[in-house]
Amino acid sequence: MNGPRLFHSRSRGGAGGFEFTVVVEKYLQLKARKKSLHEDERIGRVLREAFGADVPLASITTSVISEYKGKRLAVENGGAPLSPAAINRPLQMLRHLLRVAHEEWEVLATVPRIRLEKERQGRLRWLTPEEASKLLEACRTLSNKALLDLVELALFTGLRQAELLELTWMSVDRSRGVILLEVTKSDKRREVPLCGPADAVLARRAAAGAEGLVFGTSSWYAFRAYWEAAVEAAQQPGLHFHDLRHTFASWAMQNGATLPELQKLLGHATLTMRYAHLSPDHLRTAISRLDNVLAVPARQDAQKTQEVTLEMTKGLR
């Protein structure tokens, strides 16, 4: 791609190169199909306000970025400092923008170094089978009967909330035992296998008519109040619907799934290491490979000793 052709000559910020605001606009055009475009647009406004819309792109150096980061670290939100994630998100977008400007558009000679703050691992809460049973029982008592099916299918497929609510019967193939997701968070087509309980949920739903959306609506607001009531009745304060996905992953690992298998089941782009500690045997299996490291040579040495002794005995005869 010939970078400068993307920009009008009037967009140059003098001798220092193209204006930052123009580069941000072009970057956002590349992200036009991104689901979270509105968030990138918000961050773009923040960055232009922080560095100046009309400054030359080349003037945004490592030292300038470091100064911006220092100011952000000093900011307090409600008496508390900004979280590492709040510090990092604008910096991550800026870093990618600068790399695109350098590597693809060739309008930036070098990419400034940007150091991110260390973030804590995300929240990982999951239910035991006993806790899940209580939650399902609580759902069973509510007037919104679809919530029970929604929760149970989430527990036994690991699908995201949006994937469940947007699920159509066209994507369900019970004869093959799979759900086919054409549009996912990672923008990759994925097949989700159905276990017995998951298929049973779909069989119940199909009895009421297998057309359109499986759960009748794609709006979470149709379920939200009922979900909160079920969570309270099951005595699981702070439980999020996304925790059902963590529960699926945890149960799968505890019942022998491997990390590569879990990665495919969840539709993750990279290996899902955050669940590794939940596998009861993954480290034990790895370390057991060392059991006979010294035993094999020892047996071989013993066999050789026996052979030498036998030969000596024959010589004495």
Q: What is the pLDDT of residues 122-181, one digit of tens each?
A: 667 899 999 999 999 999 999 999 999 999 999 999 999 999 999 999 999 999 999 999
Question: Which residues, at least 6 apart from 266, have a Cβ–Cβ distance to it below 8 Å?
Answer: 158, 245, 249, 272
Q: In CATH, what number is assigned to the domain containing residue 176?
A: 1.10.443.10
Would you say how long the chain is, in residues?
Answer: 317
* pLDDT value of position 14: 47
Residue type present at position 96: H
Q: CA nearest 57: which of 99, 7, 107?
A: 107
Residues 181-214, buried b or exposed e (16+ Cβ, 10 A)? beeeeeeeebbbebeeebbebbeebeeeeeeeeb
Q: Which domain holds residue 87?
A: 3-103
Do 57 and 16 lie in a common domain?
Answer: yes
Do 177 and 242 lie in a common domain?
Answer: yes
CA 204, CA 59: separation in Å to the nearest integer? 62
- Single out the residue in 55, 85, 103 at which a domain terminates: 103
Task: Report helix, strand and coil shares of the chain as percent, to nearest 5.
Answer: 60, 5, 35
Residue type present at position 124: L
Q: What is the pLDDT of residues 203-220, one digit of tens each?
A: 999 987 778 999 999 999
Q: Is the whole model's pTM more than 0.75, yes or no?
A: no
The full DSSP string for 110-144 is SPPP-PPPP-PPPP-----HHHHHHHHHHHHTSS-
Residue 227 lies in a domain: yes
Residue 150 lies in a domain: yes
Q: CA nearest 162: which of 217, 231, 238?
A: 217
Do 170 and 259 lie in a common domain?
Answer: yes
- Radius of gyration of the chain from Cα atoms? 29
Number of separate domains in the chain: 3
DSSP bridge partners of 178 = 173, 193
Would you write out the chain's pLDDT as a tens digit for each of its 317 residues? 455 555 554 455 544 468 999 999 999 999 988 878 899 999 999 999 999 999 999 999 999 999 999 999 998 887 789 989 899 999 999 999 999 999 999 999 999 999 999 887 666 789 999 999 999 999 999 999 999 999 999 999 999 999 999 999 999 999 999 999 986 555 678 899 999 999 999 999 998 777 899 999 999 999 999 999 999 999 999 999 999 999 999 899 888 888 888 888 888 877 667 777 666 555 566 566 677 777 655 555 556 555 545 554 454 44
Do 204 and 271 lie in a common domain?
Answer: yes
Instruction: Write out the two tokens for 11.
Output: 């967009």
Do 145 and 270 lie in a common domain?
Answer: yes
CA 313, CA 317: separation in Å to the nearest integer? 6
Instruction: Write out the two tokens for 203.
Output: 């069989």
